[in-house]
Amino acid sequence: MANMHKHPVRGLRGIEQQLWDDFEKSAQAVDSDRSALLRRFMEWHTGRPDAELPKRPEPPKA
């Protein structure tokens, strides 16, 4: 069936559009996406076994 996903959609409140857009760009910079990075962070934050913080992109050079 169209638009049927394995997991329900989770909404986030209180995130400014600029931060959301910047997060998308940084996710792409590490060949990932926002959902995957948020999931990995949540796994790390809750202490799941073998969970690691997601990789961050290199900061821009001045």
- Of 11, 7, 53, 8, nearest to 32 by C-alpha is 53
pLDDT of res. 1 = 58
Residue 43 within a domain: yes
More confident residue, 11 or 46: 46
Taking 80 as the threshold, does the pLDDT of residue 4 lie above it?
Answer: no
- Local confidence band at 53 (pLDDT 50, 70, 90 cut-offs): very high
Q: With contact defined as beta carbons under 8 Å apart, do 17 and 24 qualify?
A: no
Our count of domains for the chain comes to: 1
Could you tell me the residue range of the domain that residue 24 belongs to?
15-56
4, part of any domain: no
Measured between alpha carbons, how far is residue 8 from residues 3, 5, 22, 27, 33 in Å? 11, 7, 24, 21, 17
pTM: 0.81
Could you tell me if residue 62 is inside a domain?
Answer: no
19 domain residue, yes or no? yes
pLDDT tens, residue by residue, 12-37: 899 999 999 999 999 999 999 999 99
Within a domain: residue 8? no
**Tokens 């959301």, located at residue:** 20
